[in-house]
Amino acid sequence: MKDLSLDDRPREKLWHHGASALGDNELVALIIAHGGRHGSALELANALLATYDGLHGLTRCSGDDLARVAGIGQSRAAQILAALELGRRTLAQAPAERMQLLSPNAAALYLLPRFGGRAIEQFGLILLDTKHRVIRTTVLVRGTLNTSHVEPRDVFREAVLGGATAIVAFHNHPSGDPTPSADDIDLTRRLVSAGVLMGIDLVDHVILGDVQYCSFKESGRL
């Protein structure tokens, strides 16, 4: 980046014009911080964004994916993952606010910044009190997920231990397509039946894509 004028260098540009004035490649270059034998920080950022189809593609990458790009390596990959996770957390509501989830859309808006667009499958629960205020959110299963292997007894054990009177089940589809599978539909049916026996209401089952979601309640499946 020494070839760039001072005003065009990402760090100086940020100080003079604010972070919003920087392009995606310039922001990533600042996270990378330094170049190496494979190019400047800006060149590495350009290569990274080109490889994974832009900034949105980076949110779906694992550390190994990022480290495969020449010049990135594990250290820079860790820096990028940390920055992306901070971005996710700024979009999430603070737990102390005890958000109230009164609609499928509210539940989806709560979940998407936390769990949407991830490369690894996760299944979890939002535990709710009698007024459908969030007690906490917990992930029960990580990794390759076959929802037919998610046991209702494990789901409702977590709900009982957390003092929940209602729950929202959720999981993500790394493909980005939130359309329910046959297993997803079967799991929802089993959770509804178990909830009736336990006296704990399954309010919804939300499947998360990248920026889209499918709510069983909203679609009339629940």
Dihedral pair phi/psi, residue 172, rounded to 5°: -110, 155
pLDDT in tens, 103-132: 999 999 999 999 998 888 999 999 999 999
In this structure, the answer to whether residues 87 and 147 fall within a common structural domain is no
Closest C-alpha among 51, 108, 49 to residue 84: 49
- 91 exposed, middle or buried (CB, 10 Å; 0-12, 13-18, 19+)? exposed
Closest C-alpha among 78, 177, 59 to residue 117: 59
Domains contained in the chain, number? 2
Supply the range of the domain harboring residue 145: 95-215
Reported as a pLDDT band with limits 50, 70 and 90, residue 22 is confident
Token pair of 2 as six digits: 């020494």
Identify the sign of the CA torsion 171, 138, 58, 214: positive
Reported as a pLDDT band with limits 50, 70 and 90, residue 4 is low
Residues 6+ away with beta carbon under 8 Å from 103: none
- Integer Cα distance of 35 and 189 in angstroms: 53
pLDDT at residue 81 in the model: 92
Between strands 122-128 and 166-172, the pairing is antiparallel
In a domain, 1, yes or no: no
Reported as a pLDDT band with limits 50, 70 and 90, residue 145 is low
Reported as a pLDDT band with limits 50, 70 and 90, residue 14 is confident
Identity of residue 204: D
Closest C-alpha among 167, 164, 179, 166 to residue 209: 179
In this structure, the answer to whether residues 74 and 125 fall within a common structural domain is no
pTM: 0.66
In a domain, 222, yes or no: no
Reported as a pLDDT band with limits 50, 70 and 90, residue 94 is low
In this structure, the answer to whether residues 71 and 135 fall within a common structural domain is no
Supply the Cα-derived Rg of the chain in whole angstroms.
Answer: 21
Closest C-alpha among 129, 109, 84, 93 to residue 170: 109
In this structure, the answer to whether residues 159 and 186 fall within a common structural domain is yes
In a domain, 132, yes or no: yes
In a domain, 221, yes or no: no
